Amino acid sequence: MIPVEYYLGVGFVLFFIGLVGVIARRNVFTIFMSIELMLNAVNLLFVSFAKMHANMDGHAIAMIVMALAAAEAAFGLAIIIIMYKSKESLDIDLFRKIRG
Amino acid sequence: MGFVSLLVFLPFIGGTLIGVAYLAHLKGFKISQKIFSLLAIWAPLASAYLGAKLFLAVYNDPASAITVKVFQWIEVGDFTINLSFYVDSLSALMTLFVTFIAALIHIYSIGYMNKDEGFAKFFAYMNLFLGSMLMLVLADNPILMFMGWEGVGACSYLLIAFYYKDKANVKAGNKAFIINRIGDFGFVVGMLTLYVVVGKYGFDFASLKANAFLIPEYTIWFITLFLFVGAAGKSAQIPLYTWLPDAMAGPTPVSALIHAATMVTAGVYMVARFSFLYAEVPAVGELIAYVGAFTALVAAIIATKQTDIKKILAYSTMSQLGYMFIAVGIGAYSTGIFHVFTHAFFKALLFLGAGAVIYALHHEQNIFKMNNLKSLKIVYFPMLIATLAIAGIPPFAGFFSKDEILLNTFASGHFLIYAMALITAGLTSYYMFRLFFLTFHNREKSHAHIEQPPLIMTSILVILSVGSVFAGFAGLPEIFGGSNFIKSFLSHSLVYKAEFAHVSHSLEYILMALAIGISLAGIFVAYKRFFRYKEQSELKENALVVAIKNKFFVDEMYERAFVVPLVNTSRFIYGYLDRVIIYKIVQNSAVALNRVSHFYGRVFQNGDVKWYLVYMLGAIAAIAIYLEGLINV
């Protein structure tokens, strides 16, 4: 079978791709997709570790994270819609009102 | 005996009542002067009654020494100080005449301060003063005595600066308080040393007296010297005396009560109270006696050339205080207190009489400008009695006490002090009768109208005259058939160790005649020069006369030696150190902090969410690495 380490490697790579995507992309939707990508990568990692250590905890966490990701997607999309309504654009660099 | 606490607290309550009423009066709730007068005198009169009652109780049993505890004030481990009052013959006698004279002066002041806008304020301060003085006299332990000591100093300041609108009066008040404070420092050092040495066995006077033998001799020297510094400040002895003449800026009843009869005698009382210490160190006592003698002589010399009636009396107070310190210095404590007792009567009378004179002549205080007041009999005779008393003419009060001091000084072998005291006696009668003749027998008719002093003032003068005549008989010596009541009465509370040579009766008569002779000589010289005085052409003033007229330039010397350096140091610190150096440092650090925060804000909080994400992930990474390190361990 495929060694478990390979799954871990894929998980890490996916996570870092998502991370770079969150930081370096301008489109709001792209950032959101990258966040989802990170969540999925984490799921993969948890499941792989569970297989590695023959422990059911990883599987349980993965199920919870999936439910969480769904809820967060709904919530985040609602925010994006409001953001679009105020600026008529999807460029994240335009939303600088956070500055202190 | 429980009424002792009432005796001390009533004046405080009275003072507070008047103060509150005065504040209400200022806010619009008008109160008449009559009501203020009643508020003012009820407490001193009650205290006077209780003081007499106290004295009678102790008179029946002079050896008794009762402590009346009110409550426990301080408790730190083993160290306890109670607010309690110590009643023995010494404090009973002091209480008697302090309350009596204070009550009289309060009544007099109702007349003197009539229509003054600060009428109520005056009596609030006076009541507070009386309460503090009683606390001082009746205190059971040095700390409570010191509280009274400071209280009278504070009230003295408040009352000297009473006419506060004139800056000179305020400066005089400051001067009195500051010099007093220097004395207080000495007192505190002495008191603390006493505590360190024997305090652990109890810090009230009875315990201290019993444990005094435990103190090593040189420590007693130290304690008594520093306590005397306190006494010198309070009782205007050299070198802490310059405040007393300036203190005459206050209303005349203040001078009468505080700076003649009561506060300034607190120093003498303190030495008598600590007689169990002073009796052990006759060398320190001798120093005190010399200081007293010098003060008496120098003050008398200065008084001979003064022109303001109150200043003459101030210097005479200083001089008589010197006599008291001579007495307590050589170990004759009861004699010193006897002189305190008689002096209170005739000095209060002198000041109040001077107040009547000033009132009659519409606030003229220069004796060379006073009219022929002989017609004002009701003031003339009391002043004559008082002047005779202070000059030491028998049978008036001052004679017996002053003569006892001179006798004891001679018998103890201090002949130089005796000579100084004798010369001072002559000078005293000279300058006092100079004052008397110029005030009452002046040829000048500069003031046409004499204002008749009211009955409330003149009746007090009469009462005090009776005192000035008869107070001396309390200490009538054996050669006249008396039993020297004061000496035997006080012997139960004082410690005597000094050696007084036995003086034969004939020698005693000779010394007495010598003292009387010198006083009469002084009167005669004053009579020749100042009776029916006419303005003479200015005699040539040699350097000595100029020095005396300028009080030996002591104030000026103090100014140059102490005040000017202090002021210059303050100017340097403020002008250069503060303004140039410290301001610059503070300002520059504030600017630097401002710049750093602007930089931080501009770079790290620019609102760009992507950077915020980077910071967030960096932090998470750091935490993860840290936790990972923990796991391996």
What does the DSSP assignment read for B517-560? Answer: HHHHHHHHHHHHHHTT--PPPPPP--HHHHHHHTGGGHHHHHII
Contact between B55 and B93 under an 8 Å Cβ cutoff? The reply is: yes
Cβ contact A100–B605 (<8 Å): yes
ipTM (interface pTM): 0.75
Cβ contact A98–B613 (<8 Å): no
DSSP B71: E
Beta bridge partners of A27: A91
Average pLDDT over residues B482-510: 78
Q: Which residues of B touch A97 (CB under 8 A)?
A: 607
Contact between B440 and B314 under an 8 Å Cβ cutoff? The reply is: no
Q: How far is CA B326 from the centre of its chain?
A: 18
**Residue A85 contacts B where some CB pair is shorter than 8 Å:** no
Which phi and psi angles does B82 have, rounded to 5°? -100, 150
Rounded-to-integer distance, Cα B106 and Cα B98, Å: 12
Contact between B432 and B387 under an 8 Å Cβ cutoff? The reply is: yes
Please name the residues in contact with B379: beta carbons below 8 A apart, sequence gap of 6 or more.
B353, B356, B357, B360, B373, B453, B458, B461
**Residue B2 contacts A where some CB pair is shorter than 8 Å:** no
**Distance in Å, alpha carbon of B620 to nearest chain A alpha carbon:** 12
Domain hosting A85: range is 4-99
Any idea which of B172-176, B276-280, B319-323, B605-609 has the lowest mean pLDDT? B605-609
Rounded-to-integer distance, Cα B420 and Cα B405, Å: 12
Contact between B55 and B95 under an 8 Å Cβ cutoff? The reply is: yes
pLDDT (0 to 100) of residue B372: 67
Residues 603-622 of B with CB under 8 A from A: 605-610, 612-614, 617
Decide if pLDDT at B448 tops 70. no
Residue-wise pLDDT for B167-218, tens only, equals 999 999 999 999 999 999 999 999 999 988 888 888 888 888 888 888 888 8
Rounded-to-integer distance, Cα B10 and Cα B5, Å: 8
Whole-prediction pTM value?
0.79
Beta bridge partners of B607: none
Torsion of CA B421, B175, B254, B365, to 10 degrees: 80
Neighbouring CB atoms inside 10 A of B472's CB total: 29
**Residue A23 contacts B where some CB pair is shorter than 8 Å:** yes
**Residue A22 contacts B where some CB pair is shorter than 8 Å:** yes
Residue in chain B closest to A16 (alpha carbons) equals B617
Q: Which residues of A touch B609 (CB under 8 A)?
A: 92, 95-96, 98
If we measure between CA atoms, which residue out of B289, B334, B504, B517 comes closest to residue B411?
B504
More confident residue, B376 or B127: B127
**Distance in Å, alpha carbon of A25 to nearest chain B alpha carbon:** 9
Residue in chain B closest to A19 (alpha carbons) equals B617
pLDDT (0 to 100) of residue B539: 62
Please name the residues in contact with B424: beta carbons below 8 A apart, sequence gap of 6 or more.
B293, B296, B297, B300, B319, B322, B323
Q: Peptide bond preceding B239: is omega within 30 degrees of 0, i.e. cis?
A: yes
Residue-wise pLDDT for B568-612, tens only, equals 999 888 888 888 888 889 999 999 999 999 999 888 888 777 788
Residue in chain B closest to A97 (alpha carbons) equals B607
Cβ contact B610–A98 (<8 Å): no
**Distance in Å, alpha carbon of B74 to nearest chain A alpha carbon:** 56
Cβ contact B614–A23 (<8 Å): yes
Q: What is the CATH number of the domain that holds A25?
A: 1.10.287.3510
- Report the percent of chain B where pLDDT is more than 90: 38
Q: Which residues of B touch A22 (CB under 8 A)?
A: 613
Residue-wise pLDDT for A1-38, tens only, equals 788 899 999 999 999 999 999 888 889 999 999 999 99
Structure tokens at B558: 């103090």
Q: Which residues of A touch B600 (CB under 8 A)?
A: none
- Domain count of chain A? 1
Q: Which residues of A touch B631 (CB under 8 A)?
A: none
Rounded-to-integer distance, Cα B2 and Cα B6, Å: 8
